[in-house]
Amino acid sequence: MIAGYHLSRIERYVLLQTLKSLGVALAVIAGLVVLIDFVEVSRSVGRHADLGAARIFGLTLMKSPAVILQLLPFVFLFGSLAAFVGLNRRSELVAMRAAGVSAWRFVFPAGAAALLTGILTVTVLNPVAASLDGRYEYERARIRGGGATAESSAVWLREGDDSRQIVIRADSRNLATGALNDVSFFIYTVGEDGARSFSERIDASTATLSAGSWRLTNARGASVGQQARPYASLDLPSSIADDDAFNQFADPDSTPFWSLPPQIDRIEAAGFSATAHRLKFQQLLATPLMFAAMSMLAAAFSLRLMRLGDLARMSVAAVILGFAFFFINQFTAALGAAEAIPAFLAAWLPPILTALSAFTLLFYTEDG
């Protein structure tokens, strides 16, 4: 686990039992998520088109990984709890502790494994799940729209520089061609003091972004104090790339971990708030600590010796406390999204509280 540190036979055995229980917990939770998502996809997407079971299952496999990753803290809670309760029921923990083995020696490997799994989840699994989730949203919009010419809902964009800002609003976007339909461009000039003043509005039937410019068709523009002028076609220079235009404001849950920092910079450069994306980034950074804290919390609640009783009550208390920390995580996330508290605090407070609770209980159990 750590350079210069080697696991003893007992630690390897406890770690192996924990990994087995985590695998079972993951299989159960993943199976339930896939089943629920299959029903949901059948209801929400299948009614818009004649889709077979294989097609619906394929869409489910795109949607489910992102949900499973959100529930991974419960995998570590239930899996670690089942592993240590099983060791306790078989009196293996009694034998270990009678031999003078500290509780820290068999709790630490499980927590370290959870920490490493969290790092792997954030750096590898999250980008895959986010990509699949984005693909699912695209396919769902395309199917519900009725084919290759399907359209997404209203689109808002913003671009500009130190001298000009443009706010773009479209009723819909053609997913096949990328063209915006019934679009309006609100153009503002930026003064030396940073103040914005409205300059011109241009309405167009369609707008397509290509080669660094917007191509508008059937457009009509009006500057302040002047009459409207019609244009059969009109080109407006753009400072954003074709791919960035619609990806930079994508849902944070559909954005891979490695893409979040540059995406945050693009959003803020365009003048929008990147609070949701900053919160998501901080939550991903805190994920390894949350996994380790949940694993150690479950272990701490299951170390009570069978002969002392109350093991079942302690196990139930661990589950309740785990759910409580999960809801605290959701609550602080809501506060962070509303900018009531900083995104850093909203993301890191729940795992830190969980870890402190686990360490407190372990100190109490081990050292009295």
- pLDDT tens by residue, 117-175: 999 999 999 999 988 988 888 788 777 765 444 455 677 787 777 788 888 888 877 76
The size of the chain, in residues, is 368
Whether this prediction's pTM lies above 0.85 is answered by no
Q: Are 168 and 183 in contact (CB under 8 A)?
A: yes
DSSP lists the bridge partners of residue 156 as 169
Q: Map tokens 């509780």 to a residue.
A: 103
Q: Which of 142-146, 190-194, 254-258, 294-298 has the lowest mean pLDDT?
A: 142-146
Among residues 66, 249, 242, 58, which one has the least CA distance to residue 143?
Answer: 58
Helix (H, G, I), strand (E, B) or coil at 215: strand
The tokens for 98 are 């009678």
Q: Are 233 and 219 in contact (CB under 8 A)?
A: yes
